[in-house]
Each structure stands twice: as structure tokens, then as C-alpha cells.
Structure 1
Amino acid sequence: MEQKELFKVAEVQLSYKPHFKAQERPQINSSRQAYDILLSHWDKELINYLEQAKMILLNRNNRVLGIVDLSTGGGGSTVMDSKVIFTIALKATATSLILAHNHPSGNLRPSSQDITVTEKLVKAAKLLEMDVHDHLIISENGYYSMAEEGLM
């Protein structure tokens, strides 16, 4: 193999280009505020049809850095990939995040899988010196906060 071929690798770049000053961004101090912000960014055509996952990225003052669409699944599940979640969070220099997904059935109770994935992501966040403030299960008519219910 030629020396030239050994060094053909992809360049990795980091960039985050916010379009607003930090003080102009919404500040989240409750699960209700997080739910309201998420619901305003949810595709209302899909909320009762497909399960989707999103996250809110936050700075140290709990100001919103961005809302990220993580995945769209089927009628009964979607994926929360820790590598994707934390790659995005690190790129945006987030210090904390709020996870969310919808249940098209309208049942807001977390499944055992919801609880397990939340525990896994909370542990991973700690290793990166980040916090997962909450994991919301939402519908167009309400939400369930795992933090408020003591599951985090």
C-alpha cells in the first residue's frame, strides 16, 4: 500500500452556530415549560401516529440552545441512541438536556424500556459532566415527567 493511501481519512469539524443571544433564548425552570416548548415544535400530524424522540439542549442557566429531532419510529417505539444524543450535546456545548418522546396511544405511563434507557442516559451524561434534567413522555393532551415522578 502506498504512503499516500494510508492518509486518506475524513476530516472532522466541530461547529455550532447559534442565531440568538443567550439572554434571548427561553429559560426552562419546570417540566411544564419544557412540555410547552416541545409541543410547539412537535409535528401535530404525527403525534398520534408515530413515536418520535426529541431533546432540548440547555446551557448552564437552563436557557435553550436548541431542540433536536432524534428519531422517528413506528407506532410503538423509537430509538434514543446515546452516541447520537451525546455527539449532538457536546457539539452544541450543552451542559444539560431534557429528553422527550411521545406515546401515540395517549398512555403517558413509562414502559420498563423507557425507564431503562433513561437510567442508561443519565449515567452516560454524568461521565461527560452533563445532567439529564428530565425525560418527558408527551401527548397532545398532556405529559408525564420522570423527574417529577422520582424515576430519575
Structure 2
Amino acid sequence: MKKLHVLIAAAALLMSSCSPIIRTPEEFSSGITDYSTFAKKGFFITESNSVNFDYQPIGSVYVKQQAGYEVLSNTTKQKVYSDDVIGGKSTEDFNTLKIGSKFIPLDINRGLKEIHFQSEKSGANGIINLKITHWNGGYSITGMAIKK
């Protein structure tokens, strides 16, 4: 019986010593998203889903950005040759992107300018229920475009 306990303890020790300990650094950030530039233009933005004035709903509006490298030019066509299952040859055109070396970081202000532009383009002069969602490497901004 003692041999069984020793064997189980040894197996548990062996299994736990083989798994690496993953340590991630602490992440801490803070800041403010400034809506005042839009208010100065007469554009209303609120994170609230209800307001105390009448409005006409225009539509849902969203922006999504993923950090990455800039695209240098338009897509180019690339021919891809492949053998199909039966043995025939086929040719297909695929679009390929030319990726540059300049990294484009996340920019919430750029997203806010775009959601403002899209809202005004549709005839809105405000957004209610604005939500900014962050994830690793990206964010999305959603809301309801309205006309006061």
C-alpha cells in the first residue's frame, strides 16, 4: 500500500514538474475618450440607452479596427494552379494583398471620427447607446444613430 502511495505521489510530482509556469505581466491602462469635439459640432453622443427627448432612429452604426500592417496598394491578381481529385488541372485567380512594414496601432479617436462620419452620412446628428468593446489587438464601437 505504501508503494502505491509513493508511486502516485511520484507520478503527480513528475506531471506537475513538466508543465511550464506561464507568467504574464501585469497590464494596467487608463484614459478618457473625449466626446467634446463632437458636441462642439452639434453632434450628440451618449452611452445611455435612453434619453429625455424625442428622436428618430436612423440605424445601427459600427466601426471595427484590428491593429496590423498597412496595405500598400490595391489587391493584385495571382494565378494559382492546382490538381483536382480526378487529375485535371484548374486555374483560379486569387486576390493577394501587398502588406507594408508600417504597423498601424489601435486608435479609438480614429474610430470615433469614422462612426461620426457614417452617422452624419446617413442623416443622423447623434448616437445613443454607444459601446466601445476592446479585445486583444482590436476594438469595436457600436451604437444607434439618431436624428434629434
Between Structure 1 and Structure 2, the one with more strand by share is 2
Bigger radius of gyration among the two: 2
Band the TM-score falls in, shorter-chain normalisation: under 0.3
**Higher RCO (C-alpha 8 Å, min separation 6):** 2
Q: TM-score, normalising length from structure 2? A: 0.22
